[in-house]
Amino acid sequence: MRIRYSRWDDTQDPFGADVPAAELLEELSDDILSGGGAEGALSRLMRRGIQGRFNGLDALRARLRERRRREQAAMNLQGPLEEIRERLDEIVERERTALSFEPSEDARMREAFLDSLPPDVPGQVGELTDYRFTDPQAQREFDELMGRLREEVMGAYFRNMAQGMRNLSAEELQRFRDMLAELNDMVERRERGDPYDFDGFMERHGDFFPENPQTLDELLEQMARRMAAMSRVLASMSPEQRAELQGLAEQVMQDMDLAFEVDRLGANLASAFPEMGWGEPVLTGGDEAMPLSATVDAMERLHDFEDLDRSMRGDYAGASIDDVDEDALRRSLGEDAVRDLRRLKQIERALERAGLVSRRDGRLEVTPRGARKLGERALVRVFEQLRRDREGTHEAREVGGLAEPTGSTRPWRFGDSGQIAVQRTVFNAVLRGGPGGAVRLHPDDFELVEAEQRTEAATALLLDLSFSMPLRGHFVHAKRMALALHALIEGRYPHDTLYMIGFSDYARPMKPQDLTAAGWERVYGTNMQHAFNLAGRLLSQHPRATRQVIMVTDGEPTAHLEGGQAFFSWPPVPKTIRLTLAEAKKLAKSGVTLNVFMLEDSPGLIGFMERLAELTAGRIFLMDDREIGEFVVRDYVARRDRRR
């Protein structure tokens, strides 16, 4: 055994081992068997997650809503302007103080100029830009404020693209303008369908993009998110605040000779990414002032929350869990949320790799192997309950009965017990490992000694599929019982035969995977007559076997066949009762034992079942649907052991 170690980087998850596919299928089983289908069951599992394993989408969305609430509560849209206004007031007051000590006419004129400054921030900045302060400290503070303001406005529109913009030389500023112009040209060329050179653009201007986008779409999306967030900040302000901030931003851009290209880029991005929420207002309620770029940062985070919530909600055409942006989720909720998301994305893949589900014509369906696995899990549940009840499971030590070996072997399957064919098992392991390799046993290597005995029992399982079964909550338990019985017979008694028959208005043979189909039959009628008739025809193929019918129903017969067509009536007419009892008597006369499990105790059903038991000497049971699987499996094993 080799063990390799790596340094902890906070991305490993020591408790996050993959959930086995069989356990995932078990988590889906109730939804599948209730008629939700594999697609709906998978969707609901992704929403709720698995307790103790990973969170579902609903839990992640709840965390997003809480983050969004806190972000909105903390955001103060007055902050950017108030901070600048306060700094300007302090600078002007410092200048006034210096002027008050000068008796000259020039000082009085300067005071008059300061008294006439506009009340709005953009107006004050515009007037003071060309003013030469008498106080050197006031001049330095104003220059610093303008540098910081330039950096804040650039950061509000471009985030990390133009860091340190206030320190750029005239040549570097010209290069930034050229970059914006070239980017706009490239976007417009693409819109016209003309060729463009993205790689060459990145070679010339890649240092402006620290996030290193690999495609033009990626670059534009990053910029669009930022500029859309700025538009939402403006839209969320009062008209007066919006006018001030827009005027201030335009003034700064104009001073840097960037206004035209920025406006052009904004229009191009809004056209390319209309879903970004351009100009959508947001309610805020914070008290703490924040710089402009930090306010836009917060608005961009709100967009992340909204976008993530929408993709997790999945209520749009073609929605998929792959639409959820892992990078945005990491920024919003951290690495643990990304791990949960990755596990959710792996569920369907794990089930498909295990062969338990597959997609057909775009729909997710349970495979025959998946149906068998559901039955095996249901059978395990039954036997666990039997062991808890200390009533024994009557396990057969020899598959197919006590008989002399035939000299042949057969592969071991889940649930089989019997004599292991040691030589054949070891031979399989050697053959699989190849010459010279170490011999290691695998479950697929095992074979059992084949018994001579042939078919001993033939069973027809009749399942009521009428609308009342799911309506009254019996569907899941009845289907689970059917799958468990199928797994028991296939795994432990492979020479026995089980026919599954579903009946509502008509009866028809079923396969185990049919029990996992989505939906249920919204039809009227409980046609026991047709079900008994079909069971008799199928069981007649096994004249030497011990034959039985197991029927599970929650209602009396309300339909029968007339000329090959179903006739329905509620309450049931005498003819329906008469024809159904006559078909049951035929079964009894041919040597078929009837076992009927009633899941309801209505007077009409009890009266019919009493008459059925009297005419057929069958067994009638009234029981809780939660116990039907345990009872049917235990009864099957016990009766079979008695026959042996």
**617 phi and psi, to 5 degrees?**
55, 30
Mean pLDDT of 203-226: 89
Q: Is 329 helix (H, G, I), strand (E, B) or coil?
A: helix
Query: Is residue 598 within 8 Å of 554, Cβ to Cβ?
Result: yes
Mean pLDDT of 518-542: 87
pLDDT tens digits, 149-192: 888 888 888 876 655 444 557 777 888 889 999 999 999 999 99
Predicted local confidence at residue 641, as pLDDT: 62
Domain boundary residue, one of 366, 389, 415: 366
Min mean pLDDT across 100-114, 125-139, 475-489, 494-508 is at 475-489
Same domain, 229 and 292: yes
- The CATH number given to whatever domain includes residue 628 is 3.40.50.410
pLDDT tens digits, 330-341: 989 999 999 999
Confidence band, pLDDT 50/70/90 cuts, at residue 430:
confident
Predicted local confidence at residue 7, as pLDDT: 67
Same domain, 524 and 543: yes
Structure tokens at 496: 């026995």
Same domain, 140 and 177: yes
Domain hosting residue 357, numbered range = 18-53+335-366
Q: Is 70 within a domain?
A: no
Angle between helices 170-192 and 216-236 (to 10 degrees): 110
Min mean pLDDT across 6-10, 134-138, 334-338, 604-608 is at 6-10
DSSP H helices in 49-104: 57-74, 79-100
Pairing of β 546-553 and β 457-464: parallel
Q: Is 325 within a domain?
A: no
Q: Is 263 within a domain?
A: yes
Identify the residue whose tokens are 């009872």.
Answer: 631
pLDDT tens digits, 502-519: 999 999 999 988 888 876
Q: Could you give the percent of the chain with pLDDT greater than 90? A: 29
What angle (nearest 5°) sits at the alpha carbon of residue 174, between those of residues 173 and 178? 120
Mean pLDDT of 194-217: 90
Domain boundary residue, one of 366, 382, 417: 366
Same domain, 213 and 357: no
Residue 394 has pLDDT above 50, yes or no: no
Q: Is 64 within a domain?
A: no
Confidence band, pLDDT 50/70/90 cuts, at residue 276:
confident
Mean pLDDT of 444-450: 87
DSSP state for residue 420 in the 8-state scheme: B
pLDDT tens digits, 618-642: 888 887 777 888 888 878 777 766 6
Mean pLDDT of 241-251: 87
Which position has the higher pLDDT, 643 or 409? 409
Name every residue whose Cβ is closer than 8 Å to that of residue 398 and which is 6 or more positions away in sequence. Answer: 417, 418, 419, 451
Name every residue whose Cβ is closer than 8 Å to that of residue 345 and which is 6 or more positions away in sequence. Answer: 321, 322
Q: Is 92 within a domain?
A: yes
Mean pLDDT of 303-323: 87
Cβ-in-10-Å burial (0-12, 13-18, 19+) of 481 comes to buried
Domains of the chain: total: 4
Q: Is 35 within a domain?
A: yes
Predicted local confidence at residue 151, as pLDDT: 82
Same domain, 434 and 522: no
Global confidence as pTM: 0.68
Min mean pLDDT across 10-19, 441-450, 498-507, 531-540 is at 10-19
Structure tokens at 268: 């191009």
Same domain, 243 and 130: yes
Same domain, 469 and 612: yes
Same domain, 295 and 165: yes
Structure tokens at 271: 């056209």
Domain boundary residue, one of 451, 467, 488: 451
pLDDT tens digits, 464-493: 988 888 888 888 888 888 888 888 888 878
Predicted local confidence at residue 383, as pLDDT: 67
Same domain, 349 and 286: no
Q: Is 518 within a domain?
A: yes
Q: How far apart are CA 439 and CA 441, in angstroms?
A: 7
Same domain, 471 and 445: no
Average confidence score pLDDT of the chain: 84
Confidence band, pLDDT 50/70/90 cuts, at residue 316:
confident
Q: How far apart are CA 428 and CA 433, in angstroms?
A: 9
Query: Is residue 220 within 8 Å of 187, Cβ to Cβ?
Result: yes
Predicted local confidence at residue 263, as pLDDT: 92
Angle between helices 79-100 and 239-255 (to 10 degrees): 70
Same domain, 350 and 223: no
Predicted local confidence at residue 337, as pLDDT: 92
Mean pLDDT of 431-438: 80
Mean pLDDT of 95-124: 90
Q: How far apart are CA 59 and CA 41, in angstroms?
A: 17
pLDDT tens digits, 557-595: 999 999 889 999 988 999 999 999 999 999 999 999 998
Same domain, 497 and 416: no
Predicted local confidence at residue 538, as pLDDT: 94
pLDDT tens digits, 36-52: 788 888 889 999 988 88
Most confident of 17-21, 281-285, 450-454, 550-554: 550-554
Q: Is 293 within a domain?
A: yes
Residue 391 has pLDDT above 60, yes or no: no
Q: How far apart are CA 114 and CA 158, in angstroms?
A: 34
